[in-house]
């Protein structure tokens, strides 16, 4: 079996295997299936559209179950190697309308707006995740039905009693690099059995494509390792950190001289649309955003410099340089990256509050302090 899985077929055929990947009915699960392509391709436009049974993924009724896949981004396949590829797709009805779980279509519309294009929005996304022992729904490295020692030694820790799942994190890191994902780092997280990888800086819609492909790779690697992956924002109740997907964001005017004032204006806009963002930032996020464990309260918007207990954090380097980026700490680990990145661009570039609302928000946030 191992010999066949590693078989190099390239000397015998130009045909390749394309793994079409899409987001399932829950909005967080990834689905995929394979097809043979006659020759290597370089751009998604060279690939045919495909379809799947949406009634089996919770995305279409049985009497009209066909959902159409549109190829959108290509990555190299680290599992099959060679010229084989992974294809990130979004999903449409046969009439060409995006289905409800297709969040990419709306994000692509936002990122193609000339005002957004001119601002060259950058994103750096910190994806936290938790590894679980199979069959028991309990974190990797924890005694079954019991608890490890309190948090403290596990964050970026080393040692058999502190680090659980490093081989999975490292395998995923290399798979992402091979695939062409813009992964920028990894680390062990505060709760034992929890890890993080970072993707970016990525421009516009690319951020969502890269995160979804990285999530797919992680699902496949944990599948091979016999470990369960969860993106639940609070997998263990009690005095344990939750799992977020902190999203770092900047526009070209934020990165230029005088950018700190632009960042403050962006924060003001974000404060006025706090409820809209929270409602789209992941299921179960209320269990994580409690005001404890390095989070802000889900009900109150806040910002601060170097404060990890705020909704929006600004780094010391940004404050000192007078330009840079902001970090939105509200998104949950199971957030849709297309939704979050699109909302950030929409709220800070396209959306304009009323003068009255802006004045009240500015006074409340004390943005001049």
- Tens-digit pLDDT profile for the chain (369 aa)? 989 988 989 899 999 999 999 999 999 999 999 999 999 999 999 999 999 999 999 999 988 899 999 999 999 999 999 999 999 999 999 999 999 999 999 999 999 999 999 999 999 999 999 999 999 989 999 999 899 999 999 999 999 999 999 999 999 999 999 999 999 999 999 999 999 999 999 999 999 999 999 999 999 999 999 999 999 999 999 999 999 999 999 999 999 999 999 999 999 999 999 999 999 999 999 999 999 998 999 999 999 999 989 999 999 999 999 999 999 999 999 999 999 999 999 999 999 887 666 666 676 676 544
For residue 347, the 8-state DSSP code is I
Query: Token pair for residue 5?
Result: 């899985």
Cis bond upstream, residue 259 (ω within 30):
no
Residues in the chain: 369
This prediction has a pTM of 0.95
Structure confidence at residue 216 (pLDDT): 98
- The CA distance from 30 to 22, in Å, is 6
- Looking at residue 353, what is its pLDDT? 85
Within 10 angstroms of residue 43's Cβ, the number of other Cβ atoms is 9
| pLDDT at 264 (0 to 100) | 95
Q: Which two tokens stand for residue 97?
A: 């309308």
The pLDDT of residue 357: 65
Query: Residue 231: its pLDDT value, please?
Result: 98
**168 CB-contact burial (10 Å; exposed 0-12 / middle 13-18 / buried 19+):** buried
Q: What is the pLDDT of residue 368?
A: 41
Q: Under a CB-based contact definition with an 8 Å cutoff, are residues 296 and 309 in contact?
A: yes
CB 173 within 8 A of CB 183: yes
Other CB atoms within 10 A of residue 350 CB: 13
Which residues have C-beta within 8 Å of that of residue 117, sequence separation ≥ 6?
Answer: 111, 204
Give the pair of three-digit tokens for residue 220.
């496949």
Q: Where are the beta strands (DSSP E) in the chain?
A: 16-23, 30-37, 50-53, 66-76, 85-92, 122-133, 138-139, 183-188, 194-203, 228-230, 245-250, 303-305, 312-314, 326-328
Contact 179, 85 (CB under 8 A): no
């Amino acid at each position: 079996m191992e010999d066949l899985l590693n078989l190099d077929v390239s000397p015998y055929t130009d045909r390749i295997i394309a793994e079409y990947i899409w987001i399932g009915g829950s909005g967080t699960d990834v689905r995929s299936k394979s097809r043979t392509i006659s020759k290597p391709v370089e751009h998604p436009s060279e690939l045919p559209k495909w379809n799947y049974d949406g009634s089996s993924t919770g995305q279409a009724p049985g009497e009209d179950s066909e959902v159409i896949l549109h190829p959108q981004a290509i990555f190299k396949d680290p599992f099959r190697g060679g010229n084989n590829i992974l294809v990130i797709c979004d999903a449409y009805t046969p009439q060409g309308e995006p289905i409800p779980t297709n969040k990419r279509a709306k994000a692509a519309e936002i990122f193609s707006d000339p005002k957004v294009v001119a601002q060259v929005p950058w994103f750096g996304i910190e994806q936290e995740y938790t590894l679980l022992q199979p069959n028991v729904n309990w974190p990797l490295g924890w005694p079954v039905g019991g608890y490890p020692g309190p948090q403290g030694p596990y964050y970026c820790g080393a040692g058999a009693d502190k680090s659980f799942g490093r081989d999975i994190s490292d395998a995923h890191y290399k798979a992402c690099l091979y695939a062409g994902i813009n992964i920028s780092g990894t680390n062990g997280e505060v709760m034992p059995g929890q890890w993080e990888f970072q993707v970016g800086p990525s421009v516009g819609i690319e951020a969502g494509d890269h995160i979804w492909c990285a999530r797919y790779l992680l699902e496949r690697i944990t599948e091979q390792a016999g470990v369960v992956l969860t993106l639940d924002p609070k997998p263990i109740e009690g005095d344990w950190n939750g799992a977020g997907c902190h999203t770092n964001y900047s526009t070209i005017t934020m990165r230029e001289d005088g950018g700190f004032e632009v960042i403050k204006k962006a924060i003001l806009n974000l404060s006025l649309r706090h409820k809209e963002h929270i409602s789209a930032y992941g299921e179960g996020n209320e269990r994580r955003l409690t005001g404890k464990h390095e989070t802000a309260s889900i009900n109150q918007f806040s910002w601060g410099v170097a404060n990890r207990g705020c909704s929006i954090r600004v780094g010391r380097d940004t404050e000192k340089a007078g330009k840079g980026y902001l970090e939105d700490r509200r998104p949950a680990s199971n957030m849709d990256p297309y939704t979050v990145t699109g909302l950030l661009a929409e709220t800070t570039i396209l959306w304009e509050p009323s003068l009255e609302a802006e004045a009240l928000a500015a006074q409340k946030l004390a943005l001049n302090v």
